[in-house]
Structure 1
Amino acid sequence: MARASTDFIAIGGNRHPSAADWDTQSGLLAFGADRNVAIWNPLDEAHHGITALLSGHTGKVNVVKFLPTQSAGQIIISGSVDKTIRIWQRYEALHTSFAGIAILRDHESSINAIAVQQGSNIFVSGSADATARIWKIDSSKQSELKVELLQTINITPRFFPLAVAFSALPASPRSFVLAVAGTRNIIQIYVADPADGKMIFKLQASLAGHEGWIRALTFTCENDRQSPDLLLASASQDKYIRLWRIHEGEELPPAITAGSGSALGTLAKSLSNKAHRFGAGRMKYSVTFEALLLGHEDWVYTASWRPNNEGKAQLLSASADNSMTIWEPDASSGIWVSVARLGEISATKGSTTATGSTGGFWVGLWSPTGEAVASLGRTGSWRLWNYDRRQDLWLQGVAVSGHVKDVMGISWGKDGKYLLSTGSDQTTRLYAEWKRGQRRSWHEFSRPQIHGYDLNCIDSLGSSQFISGADEKLLRVFDKPKTIAHLLERLCGIKEPRSEELPDAANIPVLGLSNKAIQAVDELLATNGGAQEALHHGSVAHNAILDLDYPPLEDHLARHTLWPEREKLYGHGYEISAVTSSYDGSLVATACKASSINHAVIRLFKTKEWHEVKPPLVAHSLTVTSLRFSEDDQYLLSVGRDRQWVVFKRDLGREAIYKLSNSNPKGHSRMILEAAWGPVKAGRIFATAGRDKLVSAAAVNIWVKMDLMPALTQVKIWGAQDAMFFCKNTITSSIPVTAVDFLRTLVGGKLCLAYGTEDGGINIFGSNPKDLMFVKLFVFDTRFAAPPQFQQLVGLDQNLTFTIQRYSIKGYYATILEATAATPNN
């Protein structure tokens, strides 16, 4: 029986302060990644990266929280722009470990915040409908888990909650305190008193002092006192963090000031220490202002207390000023001071180019032991710092990265040893396998292009060159720099035969879009004034910058891994829609978005001197969506939104000239989105896929009511016969097919074809080349990690072992899949 597994997932995190959580029990970190919840173990020594995606939300995930419970096991709660809250429960039997068990639809707008209490089955959600809702998970029955809505708090005065915090009161463990804040400069304190007989939260205080929206709230219990108090930290867009003390007893706690009024200037006026009193569980409490933490230069997005603080409270804050700060009270004075600052210097703040800053940190999280911290930046990539007690330093470690918007194109290097991807987040990324001993793991090793326009397509021109097309109406060709070639050879075993001929490195000039080649210098040569000045302006680089024994960190990727630009290709009048290169690397075919035959042309360029081959190829009337050369470069296949496919044949004796050979104006009933040639050994065959509508809307409605799955679209297989191409077979699908590709080699004498659907699914079929009767081999559901019992697995050959080397899937993330079949020895 054949089997398949996900080898690598690359995806960026959502830029929302509440979109991630690090579980104190399992050590897993879960974060929102577009409409998914990604699962990652940051402290995994094997660096496997993201291990699963939990799919189900139809809008961007804004908030993720772990809810550790004793009776229900490990639970993840996620909230989304789609107005729903989803509950995920851990099941060791599933490959993803988590399965969706409940969907809560009571909120009327986007979910922005969720708070939980460890050991309690209660959680709180805050939404843009100006309500906070109290929920209880009933897990009394192991086979069934129910979620009950206990209370809806309509926030008055009306504001949208962006942060909620929830805790039990120390002296009254059955009493709970809830803090709610958001798009006003106040914090509302609600208290639930068990003496009332119900879990009903009532407003007890409104804390004033902040001068901007409040982004984060978090409670901790202060353990260094005989009667422990609660500390509440609030982080705001006014650049400050405020600490508030909830104290048990009639007497107020001793006042702790951050300094004299004269020293604080105008800030002293806002440091009101008004006591707010309330009662719960026959106990009296007070809420007072404790401290003002100054130091950040921009909005503060998150604040979190260190777990296992060993008697000393420590607070981690993440800010848009590109830094994270660790705060703790001074042992002698009690004044809160910064004891560590992680991230970047503020001198580069505000710049978003490859040589500037990353745009700030949106999330800052402690590890379960407090010996590591993780942060998420504007680029969607994570950073990880580990504390080295011996050196008393925070050292950065390997984390995960990925695109934060649609991945529009992927391409394997011509030798298949690395993967290139490009997308609407205006970046191009290179992924390769890090090899060290017996361990293997995939990572981002270069960010060759950081652009000012959305990137739509990409293709490799060889082991050291690629071409990409963007909305700027032109295409750019890039060369691999020597620094990246040496890095890939050292860590991945990818040898570049002509590495000494490559340029040293690259950078982006100020206000420019073109990556310029720069010189790399040794450390000793950079000590003179001229070289230092050149380093400062980015015209040269240190040779040692990428002399690493681990994959590049986000700091390296964002600044030092660009590829220099070799050439620009002009001619198209609109946004580039498709690009492909010939297998021998001598030609490039390109197309752009079009609504008329004048712009729907295909342009060919010679890669030796980068001259256009004229005249352009004319056949389509609307946008060409895909271009493919046959494996021997004798044919060029194009498909488009005009529903037709066209085959151009190379002119004998003139390798750069292609002429119209065959076309089908009605190849599909709707637009064709993708096409691919089969291997030459299988004969002249190709596949096309699109949005066919094979049944009427009335029939679809009837079938849906009957819980049947109608076939709405097709992958068509075309074969050559007497110099013409005819439809030999079809593969039906209920979901529009957006990508298709053949394995370039025959496996056991059989063809392998993969296609991707609009909902993110991947299907793999096999066939005998003679009859082209395709049989389903694998089905990957939209999570790429479905439980085995829900996958259809059919062995192609009992002695078969193969790897899917190339396929083109356009979606939010790219995955590399390895599929193997059982052998008689297994």
Structure 2
Amino acid sequence: MELCSAACSASTGAARWQRGTSVYAYGAGRRLLIVDTQEAREPRVVAALLGHTDRINCVAWLPNTDIVLSGATDATLRIWAKNPDTELYGCIAVLEGHTRSVVAVTALQLHDGSHLVASASADHTVRLWHGASSSSWAPVQTIECGRHFALCLALDYLPGETSAVILAAGLSNAKLHLYAGATPTADNTFNLAEVDIVAGHDDWIRALAFTRRGDELLLASGAQDSYIRLWSIATTQSTMLVNQDDFNALLESSERRFTVAEQLTFRLRLEALLIGHDGQVYGLDWSYASDEDITLLSASADKTMMLWKYDKKADVWLDEARLGEVGGNTLGFFGCCFGANDNEVLSHGYQGAFHFWRRSETGKAWQPQTVLSGHFAAVRDVAWSPDGRFVLSVSEDQSVRLFAQATGHAGWHELARPQVHGYNMRCLAFTGDLAFVSGADEKVLRAFEAPATFVSSFANVNGHQYPERAERPFGASVPALGLSNKAISSDEHNATVQEEQLGYRATPPLEEDLIQNTLWPESAKLYGHGYEILAVGAARTQRVLATTCKLGRLAGHTLSVVKLAFSHNEAYLASVSRDRSICLHRRTPDAEQPYGDTNVFPKAHDRIIWFVQIDQGLVGCRRPADTCNCIAQATQQRHLGCLSSTSDYLCCAMKLLKPHRAARQTKATHEVQQLNMINMSIAGTHLDHLTSTNKRFMFDTAEARPRALSLSLSNSLSQTLSLSLKLFFQRTTGGW
């Protein structure tokens, strides 16, 4: 798989790094993605795991293992393990018991090598699970939270020579609840009892993290009040018990005490109040270093991350560094963690974008690094450029993104974000190597053309040089309260905009550049529809466009048309619909209805058809249990490229060399299986060799009907809308 692009779920614990390795995992919709940064120091997705039926909210690694846990809105936890023989990840256990969304998960390795897992849910409970790496897992305790629910969790051993475990939970009452108890009894049950309730924060606690400093256990808590509090837990020789009823007196005291198992007494005190963030604190993580040389990493909605270092001489905590982004319309950071060592940090934002920094060799500066990016809402359409150099995708996150290979960087990267819109994107089609049209939930089809900055940057990053044109604008910008990308001329460029702001670069751009400085100027608007556009198709000559919208009527269909495709000679236009029918519209001399001769094939599939293509080189797949579109078409470089778009934010791309026809089927089928797709069907260069278990339709051109392969895909929507068809023709002088 050459490209697997997806943003992180908008949850505070949705991304975690496997301590001491080059691997991290994050939730992207219903999928769990495993990313390896070891190869050429560039991130690469090694697994896209599907099992949850709803969005993944939290992720945690079992300490000292290759096992990762994920909790989702489907009220389940899944445990994924890496097969040492095949090095592939698979689900080894599903933990069921919660009745509502799982919002937090944490894990602790016990002294006997087994693991204790704690999960919090919106059902107002915290559940404890116990198991070994390769054995069955079982619930061992359920903690009721009353009318509140836990937002974050942390597990560790209490300090001293003890096997007692402590669980910290930040509840929706803005208080820190502590539970402690001994390790499992003979009947494999826990009995963690609530030992203290600590007030201090003025708003919800969103992040908790334990670490050790000598004989002490440090607990960091970050809350929506923008403050971070550090709590010290240590043993004490005193046997005096704290009167929990006198809560106000305890709050004013500098030290609190609690007892575990009626014999072990510990003290709890507030060590420090860290003030520096201007927004909610959503993420905390401790460095690998222990004892006195520890560092705390915090992430906030104020678009900054801070590194807090303990100064032993002054006995204070100081902010060592502040990392973040400038500008853009992002909503700050939603989580953070240290990377493979203390010199790497990773964070993710509310809109799913990752940010990755690495400390310089001098140790004085932090440098932003190239990182994976992708859509944070359902991907609705994808397309190869006519020359096969790059991929465009549109999504309900209201953006169009461009992916291509980067010379000197492993794999594919997002090189531009040509359109950032105010409506959910639905479809796109290329009208040239560097031009495309896109449709959204509006009545207008918008045409875009690449600016000079993209041509120059693409040559530097990808190595391919497109022809320069004198009339090509330098870049684009969006006016305040506007939806159209305004072209920036050479005069405006020289007067007001620096080259780096327009996107001139030699490396893949960072997120803050993508969101602001890589727009393409809008060259035209195509009007005619009275309702929102749903689909667009472009002829191979790139001079004819066909579009459909809601609440119209297209001959042969009774429900929404979702895909359009021209034949290579523009003699036929194919359309597929939610009514499960395929229509082939033959071109006629009639100027009023140029594609009025229609052949209808009703109920062609058992499920809604999402894709149709009339082509000379075609690879298709059928996936009956997901809203996924997949197409592979031959490019001028004689490659096969496979694209897929899903409702899980995922955009995948794969390029296959075209070997001999007999070997091509085996190669393509093996590669596409990595995308978790089933029932592959592959056609040869002239569609003269086709093998598939799919239900399909092929028509012979000798009978004046084009040969087409249609693919049926599932759907969870049931809109009953009919469509109208509009055709746009390009003038020889330009424009539509």
Normalised to the residue count of structure 2, the TM-score between the two structures is 0.82
CA offset digits 1:612-660 (Å, max 9, x no partner)? xxxxxx6645422211111122322223334543333445698x97232
Aligned counterpart in structure 2 of residue 674 of structure 1, from 579, 597, 611 = 611
Aligned counterpart in structure 1 of residue 72 of structure 2, from 65, 72, 80 = 80
CA distance in 1: counterparts of 2:622 and 2:368, whole angstroms: 49
8 A contact 1:647–1:660 mirrored in 2: no
Secondary structure of 1:102's partner? strand
2:227 alignment partner in structure 1:
240
Aligned counterpart in structure 1 of residue 159 of structure 2, from 165, 170, 184 = 170
1:68 alignment partner in structure 2:
63
Q: Which runs of no fewer than 5 residues in structure 2 stay unpaired?
A: 240-249, 656-664, 686-708, 716-736
Aligned counterpart in structure 2 of residue 127 of structure 1, from 102, 121, 126 = 121
Aligned counterpart in structure 1 of residue 577 of structure 2, from 627, 637, 640 = 640
CA shift, 1:737, in A, is: 8.6
1:37 aligns with 2:32: yes
CA distance in 1: counterparts of 2:712 and 2:420, whole angstroms: 22
1:361 alignment partner in structure 2:
333
CA distance in 2: counterparts of 1:567 and 1:794, whole angstroms: 38
Aligned counterpart in structure 2 of residue 564 of structure 1, from 503, 521, 525 = 521
1:370 aligns with 2:342: yes
Secondary structure of 1:431's partner? strand
1:342 alignment partner in structure 2:
323
CA distance in 1: counterparts of 2:89 and 2:399, whole angstroms: 31
CA offset digits 1:372-392 (Å, max 9, x no partner)? 101101231211000114160
CA offset digits 1:119-165 (Å, max 9, x no partner)? 651121111111112211135xxxx5111222111124x31111111
2:595 alignment partner in structure 1:
659
2:140 alignment partner in structure 1:
150
Taking structure 1 as reference, are residues 58 and 544 closer, same or farther at Cα in structure 2, changes over 3 Å only?
closer
1:277 alignment partner in structure 2:
258
CA offset digits 1:281-322 (Å, max 9, x no partner)? 944211111111112111111111111257322111111111
1:47 aligns with 2:17: no
Amino acid at match of 1:403: H
1:12 aligns with 2:7: yes
CA shift, 1:206, in A, is: 0.5
Secondary structure of 1:435's partner? coil
| Greater Cα shift, 388-397 or 305-314 | 305-314
CA distance in 2: counterparts of 1:493 and 1:808, whole angstroms: 35
CA shift, 1:751, in A, is: 12
Amino acid at match of 2:9: N
Taking structure 1 as reference, are residues 747 and 542 closer, same or farther at Cα in structure 2, changes over 3 Å only?
closer
CA shift, 1:487, in A, is: 1.0
Amino acid at match of 2:138: E
CA offset digits 1:434-459 (Å, max 9, x no partner)? 122xx641000001111111000011
Q: How does 1:298-313 map to 2 (within 5 A)?
A: 298-309=279-290, 311-313=292-294
Secondary structure of 1:82's partner? coil
8 A contact 2:588–2:596 mirrored in 1: no
CA distance in 2: counterparts of 1:491 and 1:152, whole angstroms: 54
Amino acid at match of 2:275: L
CA distance in 1: counterparts of 2:714 and 2:509, whole angstroms: 25
Aligned counterpart in structure 2 of residue 23 of structure 1, from 13, 18, 41 = 18
CA shift, 1:339, in A, is: 1.6
Amino acid at match of 2:173: R
CA shift, 1:733, in A, is: 7.8
CA offset digits 1:693-733 (Å, max 9, x no partner)? xxxxxxxxxxxxxxxxxxxxxx9xxxxxxxxxxxxxxx998
CA distance in 1: counterparts of 2:711 and 2:476, whole angstroms: 29
8 A contact 1:410–1:809 mirrored in 2: no
2:675 alignment partner in structure 1:
784
Amino acid at match of 2:119: S
1:502 alignment partner in structure 2:
472
CA distance in 2: counterparts of 1:809 and 1:510, whole angstroms: 42
Secondary structure of 2:40's partner? coil
2:440 alignment partner in structure 1:
470
Q: How does 1:320-335 map to 2 (within 5 A)?
A: 320-335=301-316
CA distance in 2: counterparts of 1:677 and 1:83, whole angstroms: 43
1:90 alignment partner in structure 2:
82
Taking structure 1 as reference, are residues 499 and 326 closer, same or farther at Cα in structure 2, changes over 3 Å only?
farther
1:452 alignment partner in structure 2:
422
CA shift, 1:809, in A, is: 11
Secondary structure of 2:173's partner? coil
Secondary structure of 1:658's partner? coil
Taking structure 1 as reference, are residues 244 and 278 closer, same or farther at Cα in structure 2, changes over 3 Å only?
same
8 A contact 1:55–1:783 mirrored in 2: no
Amino acid at match of 1:364: C
Cα RMSD of the aligned pairs, angstroms, is 3.9
CA distance in 2: counterparts of 1:83 and 1:422, whole angstroms: 30
CA offset digits 1:170-197 (Å, max 9, x no partner)? 2034111111113111111111135987
Amino acid at match of 1:633: E
CA distance in 2: counterparts of 1:756 and 1:322, whole angstroms: 30
2:275 alignment partner in structure 1:
294
| Greater Cα shift, 384-393 or 394-403 | 384-393
Taking structure 1 as reference, are residues 776 and 90 closer, same or farther at Cα in structure 2, changes over 3 Å only?
closer
CA offset digits 1:482-521 (Å, max 9, x no partner)? 1111111111123211344321011111111111112468
8 A contact 1:117–1:166 mirrored in 2: yes
1:433 aligns with 2:402: no
CA shift, 1:810, in A, is: 8.9
CA distance in 1: counterparts of 2:642 and 2:435, whole angstroms: 27
8 A contact 2:641–2:653 mirrored in 1: no
CA distance in 1: counterparts of 2:672 and 2:75, whole angstroms: 24
2:387 alignment partner in structure 1:
415
1:319 alignment partner in structure 2:
300
